[in-house]
């Protein structure tokens, strides 16, 4: 049985050269051994394994937009529907979170207040107290965010798990699949680099990258979500 990282995009070349790409950051926070997780680059046309051969999957973020319905994204959504029906544990991050929601009947679109960026506080909702992945986390914790689109409506049957004043759907679960709008894999260096790179776009949207940079701080509880997911898979395999 394979554990896979579904690569839906890539970071900026200069940042990748310096810090690695999304899958490297995810593997770091999973505490993964070399080769433990197989990376499948769906954006570049790599084929996903049969759902029956998959023990679990993490979906990366992406600069792409779910609402563009690119061919690779639509085909990945079909695989996700099959995986959810087969109770394969999934964790979607940012774009992955939005793609999961859209694939299962939710709605995704541009946030009316523009982008959310930097490090923000995430609040757990009461339902998270019994959640297999989020239970035991602090009631509020900091997390890195950078997104223009959001899940505007959850899929039928989804459980809303986390929010903040900007974003109503920061985390949800449906079956054995979770989506998180925030980035558990981003460390402070990655978030700072994103704010620097996107400063003109953020400025155009009325956000000051300099002010957002002042809010940067460590996000250990958000990062720990990936190790929690790894332990969940290990427990299931035992």
| Radius of gyration of the chain, Cα coordinates, nearest whole angstrom | 16
DSSP state of 61: -
Active site residue 183: yes
Query: 97, 147, 170, 183: which one is catalytic?
Result: 183
Token reading at 49:
């394994």
Query: 23, 29, 54, 94: which one is catalytic?
Result: 94
Exposure b/e, 105-119, CB count within 10 A at least 16 = b? ebebbebeeebbbbb
The contacts of residue 213 (CB under 8 Å, 6+ apart) are 118, 192, 195, 196
In terms of Cα–Cα distance, which of 193, 178, 206 is closest to 144?
A: 193
Active site residue 54: no
Q: Determine the Cα–Cα distance for residues 149 and 109; give it in Å rounded to an integer.
A: 5
177-180 and 171-174 as β-strands: parallel, antiparallel, unpaired?
A: antiparallel
Query: 23, 29, 167, 185: which one is catalytic?
Result: 185
In terms of Cα–Cα distance, which of 116, 130, 138, 114 is closest to 194?
A: 116
Active site residue 94: yes
Q: State the burial class of residue 34 (Cβ atoms within 10 Å of its Cβ: 0-12, 13-18, 19+).
A: exposed
Residues labelled as active-site residues: 94, 183, 185
């Amino acid at each position: 049985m394979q554990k896979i990282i579904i690569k839906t995009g890539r970071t900026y070349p200069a940042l990748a050269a310096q810090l690695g790409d999304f899958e490297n950051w995810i593997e770091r926070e999973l505490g993964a051994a070399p080769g433990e997780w197989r990376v499948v680059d769906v954006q570049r046309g790599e084929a996903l394994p049969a759902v029956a051969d998959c023990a679990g999957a993490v979906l990366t973020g992406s600069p792409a937009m779910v609402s563009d319905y690119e061919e690779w994204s639509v085909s990945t959504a079909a695989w996700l529907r099959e995986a959810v029906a087969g109770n394969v544990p999934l964790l979607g991050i940012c774009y992955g979170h939005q793609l999961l929601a859209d694939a299962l009947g939710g709605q995704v679109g541009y946030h009316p207040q523009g982008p959310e960026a930097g490090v923000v506080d995430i609040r757990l909702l009461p339902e998270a107290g019994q959640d297999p992945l989020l239970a035991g986390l602090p009631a509020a914790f900091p997390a890195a965010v950078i997104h223009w689109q959001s899940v505007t409506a959850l899929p039928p049957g989804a459980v809303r798990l986390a929010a903040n004043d900007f974003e109503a759907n920061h985390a949800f679960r449906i079956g054995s699949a979770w989506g998180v709008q925030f980035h558990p894999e981003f460390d402070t260096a990655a978030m700072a680099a994103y704010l620097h790179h996107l400063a003109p776009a953020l400025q155009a949207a009325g956000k000051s990258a300099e002010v957002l940079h002042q809010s940067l701080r460590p996000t250990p509880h958000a990062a720990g979500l990936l190790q929690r997911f790894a332990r969940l898979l290990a427990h299931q395999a035992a």
